[in-house]
Chain A
């Protein structure tokens, strides 16, 4: 197997080229506590920055889903101090004023687009912040939906914006107040409360095993 040289916090190690950055750290002997979560790109625990030797550009990625390259200088970013505004979702209103109160720094965005350029999920971060500025929470929620809250965008932001938290607020407002209301869910919740299915379930549970098996094996399956 082909090996490559990676520099973990500046120190060189030879590792197989097929490994992810996270696996390369373990291959080198690190027992991870910080900077390791779902190991599959969903949790944002393993934000990492790197530079390829000789290259000016500083890149960012998730260590669990990025393959090593030769001459990669690697530093993990296991914690980044994002600002999370405390609010009561029951009491807030989905209005532009709310963003002004909770996350005023978004209006200091200088439009450098560093957040978008660095996002490991390839989200249009600056654009979703622009929607948040305008109070268009549905659009902000839609564009930010795949965010894993790793915080890399915020680490690059000259305006000190905590983008993932802004988007989190927008999504909750959208889910709770703006998305179309589901009538059949209300109906069913009320029916359960009224005990509509109680007898049906009790009868089912009391049946002898053979009868339940028969019901299960011959139940009609919706096409």
Chain B
């Protein structure tokens, strides 16, 4: 139900062209066309939005200005006294972050015999994993192979992925699906057990496995239930990490935690640490809205970087092409790529199809931005401009009932605000979705700081400079498990010495010396949306 007259007129034009558009199979862009489009319209190519780091292991590398402000911010523990000789928590493996990667790591670390602990800023399962809708990739069908999966992801990521990580991702993918099934995750299957799979943007085979459009939620709640089924795994909710700890050998040996409600600082001592802190959407790079969880503030990047771990591709972000652009109550919320996988096309204000619906995300986002800016073919919205995602096409292609069966969450999300996506198209515009870059790891999951492992969205390099749909749910499972296994094995050989966090003060002093310190208390922990 759109009340605005301009929107209604535009909807009429979209509806008039729908039958003809359905028959179109738009050409995919050539490599040259994509490069030119990205250079002009993708936010990652906006030179004004980035600045070089002044201190640390990646000094001179450009990162988003908003990220630079917290990477070089004032450590929260500066000026506070913390008695590091007394540990409030002791574990073999300390996992920071309770999302998909953190829980997968915890399950494997526990199975590996380690005394395992999760500290998480909000509740267990409060994470981007919970909000992933569309699916998870794995090359498990006869016409597909891990090599084909590699080629799709490597090309989609602009040939920049760290090859050994991507190779592990695609090779371990079928086992990851099997592992999830063994835990009880309900994937969409045909009656004979065959996985129901679709395309995602940039895939050459239909390898997107899904659980309706609650794929991430289904995976996350199952992992959480498994963690909670082992009370030996210690869980501290509403407990953020604010600094890593090192021993006198310079190895990571725990973290300073903070109770999110009382502010009390606590010491967790551990033989190995896994950072699984997720993404950065709530930093709202370049003023974009975000599809991310409330806690997505790049904390892990800050903690790791200050302690000496290197970043990789921190200058590359993913803007999901289809964020909800209207109504205002869901501005920026994710409209899953699966909507296009099951048959909806992107059309402009005049109802014209302006791109193949399943280009990679960076190309699709840039193409929508071009339509709304240079070409002036966007639909005016209260927040700016947008294009249509023509959802009624889905049931014209596949019959009535398809939307309720395949994308019920989308149906529900818009229905709450009076829009029936079965009969009316929806307005979309790119939304900040994923941190392609992050901390550098070796294929065993370990960062450049010994005994510090990283998993999930906090890692950089697995996807190169753009990630394909369905490869991050896969990444949290594959690299979460990997980190859990390797951190547990390592813990058996480690003796932690006397703990210190001298690196925090040293880093802050270096920022001061470079005249680069910011007032911002860092890590940020939560966005500040309160109007005072």
Contacts and interface: CB of A to CB of B under 8 A. Distances in A.
B329 A65 contact: yes
Contacts of B532: 29
A3 B414 CA distance: 23
A96 interface: no
Contact of A43 (B130, B150, B260): B130
A189 B184 contact: no
A176 B182 contact: yes
Contact of A222 (B130, B154, B186, B206): B206
Contacts of A221: 204
Interface stretch (A69-77, A109-117, A178-186): A178-186
Contacts of A186: 178
B529 A26 contact: yes
B82 interface: no
Contacts, number: 223
Given A42-B217, A86-B229, A174-B184, A217 B155 contact: yes
A19 interface: yes
A190 B265 CA distance: 48
A36 interface: yes
Given A168-B221, A189-B174, A201 B167 contact: yes
Nearest to B142: A184
Interface in A70-92: 84, 86-89
B435 interface: no
Interface string B221-254: 1100110111100000010000000000000000
A220 B329 contact: no
B204 A219 contact: yes
Contacts of B217: 42-43, 148
A196 to B, nearest CB: 8
B204 A42 contact: no
Contact of B191 (A38, A88, A180, A192): A180
A65 B238 contact: no
A41, A121, A141 pick with most chain B CB within 10 angstroms: A41
B214 A176 contact: no
B374 interface: no
B531 interface: yes
A19 B330 CA distance: 10
A204 B167 CA distance: 10
Interface in A135-187: 141, 145-146, 148-149, 168, 171-176, 179-186
Nearest to B226: A89
Contacts of A174: 184, 186
A18 B184 CA distance: 40
B417 A42 contact: no
Given A175-B222, A216-B151, A217-B31, A38 B145 contact: no
B77 interface: no
Contacts of B190: 180
B528 interface: yes
B7 to A, nearest CB: 16
B147, B154, B238 pick with most chain A CB within 10 angstroms: B147
B183 A212 contact: no
A197 interface: yes
Given A42-B130, A89-B226, A204 B151 contact: yes
Contact of B155 (A20, A41, A45, A213): A213
B139 to A, nearest CB: 7
Contact of B229 (A43, A89, A189, A200): A89
Contacts of A67: 329, 417
A175 B185 contact: yes
B142, B216, B330 pick with most chain A CB within 10 angstroms: B330
A184 B178 CA distance: 11
B60 to A, nearest CB: 25
A12 interface: no
Interface string B166-179: 01001110110110
Contacts of A146: 212, 214, 408-409, 412
Contacts of B416: 41, 65-66
Given A86-B228, A146-B409, A212-B159, 19 more contacts: A18-B327, A26-B529, A30-B530, A32-B529, A33-B122, A33-B261, A38-B293, A41-B416, A42-B130, A43-B125, A65-B416, A84-B225, A89-B183, A172-B184, A176-B184, A179-B186, A184-B142, A216-B151, A219-B148
The 6 closest A-B CB pairs, nearest first, are A172-B184, A216-B155, A180-B193, A175-B186, A175-B184, A176-B184
9 contacts: A42-B217, A65-B416, A66-B416, A84-B228, A86-B229, A121-B412, A171-B184, A176-B184, A213-B31
